[in-house]
């Protein structure tokens, strides 16, 4: 109070009054309350008016210190002096104003305008960017299609070749089994033929799986977008899987 910091003195007296009253020191509490009330006519109050709705992430500082959001829109006592009020928000232009708070009892009002978009935000605003051509966007978004189709076709082919090799090996083992013309086999022959049947079953599964993967890869590859997609009608392909066969049809 003696150095002219009326708001700090007023807040200090109010705090002392509350603490003294809680401790039962009535006389001290009343004295502090009277001194606080004596300062009230001289208090300088600053009101920050915020735009509605406030931009997301809005931060307001007073001489570099953040003003708590609950104090926005309220008249807050301040010590005499000069105050730099800054309003900032992500993607918005900074607003700064200097307030001269030196007249005792003054009621100061600072209106924070709606912050304009920053230049960087304007440059990256989707509404201000040219939309890519639809055919270019489609080709770019599906650029993975051709490599994936080729890879799938290659994997399917490799699995099918492996199935063929396994089927040949199964046939050879069955033929080499120790069995006579009436299919009467020794114990070793029985084991060999059982092993051959198992190998044959595995080969069949591999052949079907390889066919499915390879055919799917072919479809993906052939339907991948190209530079001529805008001028030519895309081919139509259909893949059908049956218990013992695959069918692939291509329509131009």
Looking only at the bridges linking them, the beta strands covering 107-111 and 44-49 are parallel
45-128 is classed CATH 2.60.40.1120: yes
Question: Tokens 């190209």 — which residue?
Answer: 226
Q: Closest Cα to residue 215, out of 203, 226, 223, 227? A: 223
Q: Tell me the mean pLDDT per 10 residues along the chain, length 252.
A: 79 93 93 93 94 91 94 93 95 94 94 88 54 50 71 79 81 75 69 78 83 77 62 49 52 52
**Do residues 236 and 219 lie in contact, with contact meaning Cβ atoms separated by under 8 Å?**
no
Q: Domain ranges for the chain, please list them.
A: 1-42, 45-128, 143-251
What would the pLDDT profile of 215-232 be if each residue is shown by its tens digit? 887 777 677 666 555 444
What would the pLDDT profile of 240-249 be if each residue is shown by its tens digit? 555 455 555 5
What would the pLDDT profile of 113-155 be if each residue is shown by its tens digit? 999 998 766 555 555 455 455 555 545 556 667 787 788 778 8
**pLDDT at residue 21, as a whole number:** 92
Rg, C-alpha atoms of the chain? 42
For residue 5, the Cα-to-chain-centroid distance in whole angstroms is: 49
**pLDDT at residue 230, as a whole number:** 42
The mean pLDDT of the chain is: 79
Q: Closest Cα to residue 216, out of 154, 141, 139? A: 154
**pLDDT at residue 221, as a whole number:** 67
**pLDDT at residue 157, as a whole number:** 78
The pTM of this model reads 0.45
Indicate the burial class of 14 (C-beta count within 10 angstroms; 0-12, 13-18, 19 or more). middle
**pLDDT at residue 233, as a whole number:** 44
**pLDDT at residue 163, as a whole number:** 76
Q: Identify the helix (H) or strand (E) that includes residue 123.
A: helix 119-124
Indicate the burial class of 39 (C-beta count within 10 angstroms; 0-12, 13-18, 19 or more). buried
């Amino acid at each position: 109070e003696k150095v002219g910091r009326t708001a700090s003195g007023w807040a200090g007296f109010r705090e002392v009054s509350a603490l003294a009253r809680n401790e039962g020191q009535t006389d001290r509490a009343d004295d502090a309350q009277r001194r606080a009330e004596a300062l009230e006519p001289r208090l300088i109050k600053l009101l920050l008016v915020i735009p509605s709705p406030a931009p997301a992430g809005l931060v307001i500082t007073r001489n570099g210190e953040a003003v708590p959001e609950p104090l926005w829109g309220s008249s807050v006592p301040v010590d005499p002096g000069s105050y730099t009020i800054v309003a900032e928000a992500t993607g918005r232009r900074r607003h700064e104003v200097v307030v001269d708070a030196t007249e005792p009892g003054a009621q100061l009002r600072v209106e924070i305008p709606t912050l304009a978009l920053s230049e960087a935000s304007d440059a990256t605003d989707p509404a201000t960017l040219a939309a890519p051509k639809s055919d270019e966007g489609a080709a770019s978004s599906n650029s993975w299609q051709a490599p994936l189709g080729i890879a799938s076709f290659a994997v399917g082919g490799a699995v099918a070749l492996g199935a063929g090799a396994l089927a040949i090996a199964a046939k050879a083992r069955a033929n080499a089994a120790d069995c006579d013309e009436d299919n009467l086999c020794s114990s070793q022959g029985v084991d060999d033929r059982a092993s051959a049947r198992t190998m044959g079953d595995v080969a069949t599964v591999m052949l079907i799986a390889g066919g499915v993967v390879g055919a799917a890869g072919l479809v993906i590859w052939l339907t991948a977008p190209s530079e001529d997609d805008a001028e030519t009608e895309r081919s139509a392909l259909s893949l059908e899987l049956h218990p013992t066969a695959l069918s692939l049809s291509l329509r131009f």
